[in-house]
Structure 1
Amino acid sequence: MQKLAIITSHPIQYYAPWFRYLANQAALDLRVFYLWNFGIGQQSDPGFQQVIEWDIPLLEGYDFEFVPNLSDRPGTQHFWGLHNPTLLQQVRQYQPDGVLMMNYNYASLYHFLWHWHETPIVFRGDSHRLVGDRGVKPWLKQQWISQIFRRFAACLYVGKANYHYFQSHGIAAERLFFSPHAVENDRFIYQTAAAQAQAMQWKQELGIPANHAVILFAGKLIPKKRPIDLLQAFLQANLPQVSLLFVGNGELENELRTKAALHPHVYFAPFQNQSWMPRAYAIADLVVLPSYGSGETWGLAINEAMCLSKAVLVSSHVGCAADLVQPGRNGLVFPAGNVRALAEALQTAFDSADRLSTWGQESRRIISHYSYAQTTQGLLNAMQFTTNKECVKTQLPV
């Protein structure tokens, strides 16, 4: 059985279930090396502007160890936020056959990259270039990243935009393996019936009229997510018997509430922990992610919504747009930052009484191809490739 070391910044609610899946389903002996303890216990989340504690297990079902972080300001917001002098030593003690890195742009990870020569390193990232940057500085950054990527024996791409990102940095197609972004599909699908019953009660508690369809925004109320664009588009569109629900907290909450104060059908609900997210999606008829800029590398909320058979509407800057959204079949894509186009897309979505239901059914079919099984197969293919064994690539059309 091959031994795999996974190096990542901190326990993350989206990755922990995959690590459990790998430990239980894949023919791997794995150990996850965490460089920071954020996410364990109560933590202050600056995006949500509150103290949160995830209510799903993040450290159960797989082997892990924490690497002491000596940074004066631990975190992932700056280069020295992950400063772990013993990382190389701890990974060497594990004696893996391969290493999977989920990050690289931090002090400890650069040190590891330059000094690890024992076994191949595979990288899994989700960056994209949907937002074009021009000028000397972006060009120099691209050249630097291209040099970094030469240290990886193979790269796992999560979708089409990410595939083109890797290729733009000189990664040959033979070194790229499809390992899609996925969530715990089974958990969301299994909870669908219960979530629908809970959503009916929650809708009443929130004061949303029973005969209203619901547009849902679920996430941090922060600038890159562009919740104000969605509010403005909703106010522009002619949507009788439709309500807009914002679920989450963040720095734009007060501004949103002020702008929505005179509209009778805009509602707000606070941050919902992971176990309650199925209910949040179940209340919706359409889930919208209007993000702007390069920060929305994928948008896993769309995966979650599609597990509950929801129609989706995303901006052109959302990383999953080209993979998960098939315009006119399970949702729509609009030009990022264009409020008028977003309003028109909302109008189109609600033009037909049956359209959103049909789109939602198609969402469930599409998301079945973006599960931990496919994510894991891509990793296994990459590991076979790096050890010069025969492998059949499961490649996403690009």
Structure 2
Amino acid sequence: MIVKLAIIASHPVQYNAPLFALLSKDVHLKVFYTWSQKEEDNYDADFKANIEWDIPLLEGYEFSFIENKAPRPGGHHFHGIICPSLIREIQNWEATHLLIFGWNYHAHLSAMRYFKNKVPVWFRGDSTLVDEKPGIKTFLRRRFLKWVYRHIDKALYVGSNNKAYFIKHGLKEEQLIFAPHAIDNHRFSDDYDPNYNTKAIEWRKKLGIKKTDKVIHFCGKFEDKKNPILLLNAFLDIIKQPDFSHLKLLLTGSGHLEDQLRSIAGKNPAVIFQPFQNQSVMPIIYRLGDIFCLPSQGPGETWGLVVNEAMAAGRPVVVSDKVGCAIDLVNKDTGKIFRSDSKRSLIESILYIITKLNSPSHYLSIDIKRHIELWSFDNIKKSILNNFDA
């Protein structure tokens, strides 16, 4: 049988496009994008800007944009993506397998229900139980999700927390395929551009960072979920100590907390802000720091792909226990996990890594990169290809 894999996704994403192109080298696939591509759809409310990624998102694979007939189009609510022609177009393409990214849109759930028992229906999502609280809402939601997942044959789980989530919602071990959450590791490697480190050194100079400075780096949206204010307050406490006057905090990004962050930082020269940066320079951006920190308090930090990116650049990480990837990516060789929303725990974790950075046997870039190599597009591809006949 010739495999024809139809993929349903809402819109082109910088983390998925390289995977689709890689898969297309071994299997006939087509991606059906369900969210209309009007200019205003690129607006990111958290970054407060229209985001146009500067790496190709539509190259190397077949795709089509399905007309979205939703009265209020958008990716933030269930009825924001309604595509009456989606099922017909997948049928006309004669798909033998269906892979759906996310069920929580009308068009996606409708396709999932229609194609169940007609072709193998696979699902990919990264939800976890990390933020779950007991109560009637959780009870009712679990019953509903068990019904949703009865309409799939296989689930591609991205890590340990995601696997636990699927099992809790009724899926069996034999229905689960490990397809690790990944970024384009190669694009972040020195093999891709041997000048990354040189460019980072020059960039650090422009930011006023000395060779002897150690930089703690946050990169992302300045939003409550990611809790950058906790990191800033912890950093300001750390540098009150005379032994840590060589530390700098670099905050890369934008969002609704920016004014508050700048107010807390005041004119402290140890705190450096720089705006949102596009994808092509991200491998350099992560090399500006010596430690990467993601202090999220949730809810909804289901994975944290910025951690993958920082590790692919060889940086040790400090992440909270509310970050979905922590249990899989962070170990004694790659970083520290701290208690979410605990400034004391965060300070202890940062100081521990700072004191170990100059050791020849701790947090070596080569060990960090070796660990993140397991979380790769190649391994996702292998998992998918190996399960077409399963």
Identify whether the pair has TM-score above 0.5, normalized to the shorter chain: yes
Q: Name the % identity.
A: 39
Name the CA distance, whole Å, in 1 between partners of 2:387 and 2:262. Answer: 48
Aligned partners of 1:42 and 1:53 also within 8 Å: no
Residue 245 of structure 1 corresponds to: 250
**Match of 2:7, SS?**
strand
Per-residue deviation, residues 8-48 of structure 1 (Å, max 9, x unmatched): 11100100010011012x2x100000001459899221121
Q: 1:39 to 1:240 in 2, by over 3 A?
A: farther
How do 1:328-343 and structure 2 match up within 5 A?
A: 328-343=332-347
Paired residue type of 1:74: P
Aligned partners of 1:299 and 1:320 also within 8 Å: yes
Alignment of 1:179 with 2:179, yes or no, is: yes
Name the CA distance, whole Å, in 2 between partners of 1:282 and 1:357. Answer: 20
Per-residue deviation, residues 229-265 of structure 1 (Å, max 9, x unmatched): 1101111224331100001111111110110114220
Alignment of 1:215 with 2:216, yes or no, is: yes
Residue 345 of structure 1 corresponds to: 349
Alpha-carbon shift at residue 284 of structure 1 (Å): 1.1
Residue 269 of structure 2 corresponds to: 264
Residue 128 of structure 1 corresponds to: 128
- Name stretches of at least 5 consecutive residues in structure 1 with no aligned partner: 386-398
Name the CA distance, whole Å, in 2 between partners of 1:175 and 1:130. Answer: 22
Residue 81 of structure 2 corresponds to: 82
Alignment of 1:376 with 2:381, yes or no, is: yes
Most deviating of 225-234 and 370-379: 370-379
Name the CA distance, whole Å, in 2 between partners of 1:349 and 1:68. Answer: 50
- Structure 2 length as normaliser, TM-score? 0.94
Question: How many pairs align?
Answer: 382
Aligned partners of 1:177 and 1:381 also within 8 Å: no
**Match of 1:32, SS?**
strand
Residue 159 of structure 2 corresponds to: 159
**Match of 1:214, SS?**
strand
Name the CA distance, whole Å, in 1 between partners of 2:103 and 2:127. Answer: 12
Alpha-carbon shift at residue 311 of structure 1 (Å): 0.5
| Counterpart selection for 2:309 from 304, 318, 322 | 304
Per-residue deviation, residues 188-231 of structure 1 (Å, max 9, x unmatched): 11345322111111111112233211111011111101100110
Q: 1:334 to 1:156 in 2, by over 3 A?
A: same
Alpha-carbon shift at residue 51 of structure 1 (Å): 2.0
Alignment of 1:367 with 2:372, yes or no, is: yes
Most deviating of 195-204 and 98-107: 195-204
Name the CA distance, whole Å, in 2 between partners of 1:39 and 1:84. Answer: 15
Alpha-carbon shift at residue 368 of structure 1 (Å): 1.0
Aligned partners of 1:39 and 1:53 also within 8 Å: no
- Name stretches of at least 5 consecutive residues in structure 2 with no aligned partner: none
- Structure 1 length as normaliser, TM-score? 0.92
**Match of 2:355, SS?**
coil
Name the CA distance, whole Å, in 1 between partners of 2:298 and 2:231. Answer: 15
Most deviating of 269-278 and 105-114: 105-114
Name the CA distance, whole Å, in 1 between partners of 2:113 and 2:287. Answer: 47
Residue 22 of structure 1 corresponds to: 23
**Match of 1:119, SS?**
coil
Name the CA distance, whole Å, in 2 between partners of 1:247 and 1:38. Answer: 27
- The alignment's C-alpha RMSD in Å is 1.7
